[in-house]
Structure 1
Amino acid sequence: MPFVIPTRNFAGKTAPTLSISNFQTSIVSTGISYALYRVKINVDSLKFPYNGVCILPYSLLKERAGMGCDFSKYSPCCLGKEQDGHVPEARVDENEDNAEGIDLPRFHEFTIDQLRRATSGFAVENIVSEHGEKAPNVVYKGRLENQMRIAVKRFNRNAWPDAQQFLEEARAVGQLRNQRLANLLGCCCEGEERLLIAEYMPNDTLAKHLFHWETQPMKWAMRMRVALHLAEALEYCTSKGRALYHDLNAYRVLYDDDYNPKLSCFGLMKNSRDGKSYSTNLAFTPPEYLRTGRVTPESVTYSFGTLLLDLLSGKHIPPSHALDLIRDKNLQTLSDSCLEGQFSNDEGTELVRLASRCLQSEPRERPNPKSLVTALIPLQKDSEVPSHVLMGIPDGTAAFTLSPLGEACLRMDLTAIHEVLEKIGYKDDEGAATELSFQMWTNQMQETLNSKKKGDAAFRHKDFKTAIDNYTVFIDVGTMVSPTVYARRSLSYLMSNMPDEALNDAMQAQVISPVWYIAFYLQAVALLAMGKENEAQVALKEGSSLETKKNTN
């Protein structure tokens, strides 16, 4: 049965309708409702076979399942670097951590072009590192073509002069998969470029929530949860032979969509020339590091002790000063006044005792991560309460305000969305008008413009089948690309109860215009129509954020 492959343009054309029997495929990755395939096809209108990548409907996977492909192990992953013509499979590692519900792609080596696309050209507005552009190594947020959000750490050019060392370290850390980590997904090592790619954690750092809170201070129960989760992360890393963590501090603790604390994987990379292993004030560094300049597992425990002091006091107190207060039994001065009544004297004493053990001047007297976990478990409270509730967030996925358009998308009001698309017209098609006027003299372009005009007229009069047909003619010619045409055809598909096709078009609109909020909103509506509520919330939140930025600029 023939179907249309919605590919990117090649040689000024797009692939025509093909039947399943006349192309060869190998899966690159799968997404929510589509599969990214490497295809080799013969196209009659071309003098050579096309060997490239295209998106195919998810329903096709079932048709191909009988041909020896195991689709159950595939996860979303961006297309990776080719080596000897081979495209690596994007499978999750088959290890014991999958039992924890970890569903992540295998560690992957990305190209710099992929990361440029994911971060909109390393745009300033995508910087999330604490010191912005002034940071020695800048961290960007980004999004892969399969919609997976990522954090991209771009090192300065002198950080890792030895490319092989960088790759070996990244590959080793990239084998770790644990729910207590913001896991490392991949790296990039091209020329002088050194980048790490990790899971994106959208809800700030422990430092922000503990030291610079705006609405309410962090509760005792949440502080103890942070301590336990970090201890569990360190215990896991130690069990996997990665006991060293460089510069463990409150900025290394990140919060996911549901406000669960996770340890950044970036600190697991061995020291390089990007600076000292301890970038904080020397008052917070382990005493043995000051003597030898080397990080040991016991040094990590010392840093964990400083974090326990942060959690208890709500301030970044130098360990020497804290130990003086502890020796003088002046615990009231050490404790955060905002925590009054939230923990017992015994609980406070136990936490102080544990912090003191971590801060012992003799490294061998400090507890190991397993002992830390054992000591922190009895201090847990409200374990059944979700983290976002303890943080005072009513709903971990809906903590943002929607515009009227966003509200229309949330309630799947297609009529209201249609009115908005009609109103904005083609304002967001950057450069399209210029290119159209330049090429209008060709007969082919005139025919293309006529099909677009017919599509617009049908769209205006809500004849969505005719709109789909005419917009498809415009798209298939391939001379022009228009995010608005894809958006209009996406909504037409939604009106025709074809959410898979609608999602594909909305994604194509995003590829053309990466920061266009309309593309994300339409993805959200398509995902809602497919019953993918969690994924829809992510797209809706991103669309809302981009719309807000556009309206404030």
Structure 2
Amino acid sequence: MVYRGMLEGNGLVAIKRFSKLTWPDAQHFEDQATAVGKLRSKRLVNLIGYCVEGGERLLVAEYMPYDNLSKHLFHWDQQTLPWKMRVRVAYYIAQALDYCNVENQKIYHDLSASRILFDEEGDPRLSTFGLIKSSRDGTSYNTNLTYPPPEFSETGTVIPESVIYGYGNVLIELVSGKHIPPNHAFDIIMETNAMLLMDSSLEGRFENEDATKLVNLASKCLQNNPEDRPDTESLVSAAAAAAALQNKEEISSHFLMGLPKNSVILPTMFSPLREACSRMDHPAVYEILLKTGYSDERAESDLLVTPEVQELVLTKKLGDDAFRDKDFTKAIKFYSKLVEMMDVSYATVFARRSFSYLVTGQHALALRDAMKAQVSIPGWPTALYLQALALSELGMESDARDMINEGAALEAKRPQRDKRVLNRL
């Protein structure tokens, strides 16, 4: 599993957490992480550190804000990846593989579109996680390949030439914009129907000569005999030729991918509630509020000290039951009664009533209650996130974004629960 995390002074990072059974030998894991951690290239997602504590095995790497190649190729919802950007990916990843090869890190496990990430400038980088060979015994390695090369099917092992085969498959995906089994793509190329592979969304937006160069390079990489495949230095030369680097005015990756002009600056690790509010996902916000309960506040016995305690508890229960059943009109009724009965109200009551107002179209009242929740607990990010939801519904998008950022800043100041030690590389 790969998580997003926050390191003090380093901003956001990507954290890969291995299964506890994957690395019983802590020293072997440290040796692997240290060796890969020595790599430093602008074409790689460089490792920052690792953690070995108890049964935990964590790798920490630079955070890439613009997702992976798989998403941009196969799951795009705004614009298809431009041809010039696809050629740039081919060139930059060839450079990454050649650098790894020179540094004696010749084995890359499961090279695929999901292993290629985009940094804050929109430039493609190769994840270093694929260089770590997970092992239960220090000799045999776990390798799950999307499209295994012929030699893997015979021996069950990966060799440097297998990485070239994986690169060839990435080239096919770049050209076609589809998942095509390498053997099928190879057959199409050999039948001189290479242009049938081209992504139809790119029609009229690429040079046939450049496309032919990449397709021909892919065919060399997908040879059945590993010895017939090119080396990494040849990949760089061929990809550079296709990239037409003679153009003096090179267009930035930001522009080609249609990304914002300024680099993305993310202030903190995003909580599920922050992300749900950012995308105006009301069902997700509801589920989080429901599961969170009243854990962010003082104990009930501290607040409900009145002669009418039984009635207060019953009213609160009726409000919570209605909220759980998604009867938001009834929830508003009982929470409003509870607010009138209590000298000091729960911030969560205001939060839940705020959400109930929100989904029933009473956006101004939703904002009012979210602000009251903030007054009850000034350092509660949930209150700010709910204000952002209400502000967005009221058409105040700029104020909503500011409120999201304020909530994220509050989250960043909260004590970190996870005290694992990071060994910096």
TM-score (normalizing by structure 1): 0.48
Question: Which residue in the other structure is 2:253 paired with?
Answer: 387
Aligned with 2:405 (options 527, 538, 543): 543
Read off the aligned partner of 1:240 and give its amino acid letter: E
Question: Which residue in the other structure is 2:144 paired with?
Answer: 278
Q: How does 1:20-31 map onto structure 2 within 5 Å?
A: none
Q: How does 1:363-382 map onto structure 2 within 5 Å?
A: 363-380=226-243
- Alpha-carbon distance in 1 for matches of 2:402, 2:156: 47
Read off the aligned partner of 2:48 and give its amino acid letter: L
Question: Which residue in the other structure is 1:158 paired with?
Answer: 21
Give the 3 Å change call, closer, same or farther, for CA 252–151 of structure 1 in structure 2.
Answer: same
Task: Answer yes or no: is 1:145 the counterpart of 2:8.
Answer: yes
The CA deviation at 1:338 is: 1.4
Read off the aligned partner of 1:384 and give its amino acid letter: E
Task: Answer yes or no: is 1:397 the counterpart of 2:260.
Answer: no
Q: Which has the higher contact order (CA 8 A, sep 6+)?
A: 2
SS where residue 13 of structure 2 aligns?
Answer: strand
Aligned with 1:258 (options 121, 130, 138): 121
- Alpha-carbon distance in 1 for matches of 2:165, 2:33: 25
Read off the aligned partner of 1:278 and give its amino acid letter: N
The CA deviation at 1:275 is: 7.5
Read off the aligned partner of 1:376 and give its amino acid letter: A
- Alpha-carbon distance in 2 for matches of 1:342, 1:244: 35
- Alpha-carbon distance in 2 for matches of 1:399, 1:157: 33
- Alpha-carbon distance in 2 for matches of 1:171, 1:262: 20
Q: Deviations 1:356-411 (Å, cap 9, x if unpaired)?
A: 100111111111111111111122257621111100124243699xxxxxxxxxxx
- In the alignment of these two chains, the number of paired residues is 287
Question: Which residue in the other structure is 2:95 paired with?
Answer: 232
- Alpha-carbon distance in 2 for matches of 1:261, 1:542: 29
The CA deviation at 1:240 is: 0.7
Question: Which residue in the other structure is 1:246 paired with?
Answer: 109
Question: Which residue in the other structure is 1:339 paired with?
Answer: 202
SS where residue 196 of structure 1 aligns?
Answer: strand
Read off the aligned partner of 2:133 and give its amino acid letter: K
Give the 3 Å change call, closer, same or farther, for CA 210–513 of structure 1 in structure 2.
Answer: farther
Work out whether residues 120 and 264 of structure 2, in 8 Å CA contact, stay in contact via their aligned partners in 1.
no
Q: How does 1:6-21 map onto structure 2 within 5 Å?
A: none
Read off the aligned partner of 2:89 and give its amino acid letter: V
Work out whether residues 221 and 229 of structure 2, in 8 Å CA contact, stay in contact via their aligned partners in 1.
yes
- Alpha-carbon distance in 2 for matches of 1:515, 1:362: 58
Question: Which residue in the other structure is 1:215 paired with?
Answer: 78
Question: Which residue in the other structure is 1:198 paired with?
Answer: 61
Read off the aligned partner of 2:255 and give its amino acid letter: V
219-228 or 157-166: bigger deviation: 157-166
SS where residue 258 of structure 1 aligns?
Answer: coil
- Alpha-carbon distance in 2 for matches of 1:313, 1:329: 15
SS where residue 152 of structure 1 aligns?
Answer: strand
Give the 3 Å change call, closer, same or farther, for CA 330–513 of structure 1 in structure 2.
Answer: farther
Work out whether residues 382 and 407 of structure 2, in 8 Å CA contact, stay in contact via their aligned partners in 1.
no
- Alpha-carbon distance in 1 for matches of 2:86, 2:69: 9
Question: Which residue in the other structure is 2:192 paired with?
Answer: 329
Q: Deviations 1:255-314 (Å, cap 9, x if unpaired)?
A: 11221111001000124249741342xxx2110011111111100000000000000000
Read off the aligned partner of 1:392 and give its amino acid letter: G
| Structure 1 residues without counterparts, runs of 5 or longer | 1-137, 401-429, 439-511, 520-538
325-334 or 296-305: bigger deviation: 325-334
Question: Which residue in the other structure is 2:319 paired with?
Answer: none
TM-score (normalizing by structure 2): 0.62
The CA deviation at 1:343 is: 2.3
Q: Deviations 1:172-211 (Å, cap 9, x if unpaired)?
A: 1011111011111111111111111111112111000001
Read off the aligned partner of 1:390 and give its amino acid letter: L
Q: How does 1:31-46 map onto structure 2 within 5 Å?
A: none
Work out whether residues 384 and 404 of structure 2, in 8 Å CA contact, stay in contact via their aligned partners in 1.
no
Task: Answer yes or no: is 1:357 the counterpart of 2:220.
Answer: yes
- Alpha-carbon distance in 2 for matches of 1:348, 1:327: 15
Identity rate of aligned residues, in percent? 47
Q: Deviations 1:125-144 (Å, cap 9, x if unpaired)?
A: xxxxxxxxxxxxx1110111
Structure richer in helix, relative to its length: 2
Q: Deviations 1:29-74 (Å, cap 9, x if unpaired)?
A: xxxxxxxxxxxxxxxxxxxxxxxxxxxxxxxxxxxxxxxxxxxxxx
Read off the aligned partner of 1:350 and give its amino acid letter: K
SS where residue 261 of structure 2 aligns?
Answer: coil
Read off the aligned partner of 1:335 and give its amino acid letter: M
- Alpha-carbon distance in 1 for matches of 2:260, 2:52: 42
- Alpha-carbon distance in 1 for matches of 2:96, 2:7: 26
Read off the aligned partner of 2:166 and give its amino acid letter: S
Read off the aligned partner of 2:232 and give its amino acid letter: P
- Alpha-carbon distance in 2 for matches of 1:243, 1:542: 44
Read off the aligned partner of 1:304 and give its amino acid letter: Y
SS where residue 142 of structure 1 aligns?
Answer: strand
Give the 3 Å change call, closer, same or farther, for CA 203–516 of structure 1 in structure 2.
Answer: farther
Work out whether residues 302 and 358 of structure 1, in 8 Å CA contact, stay in contact via their aligned partners in 2.
yes
Q: Deviations 1:95-152 (Å, cap 9, x if unpaired)?
A: xxxxxxxxxxxxxxxxxxxxxxxxxxxxxxxxxxxxxxxxxxx111011121421111
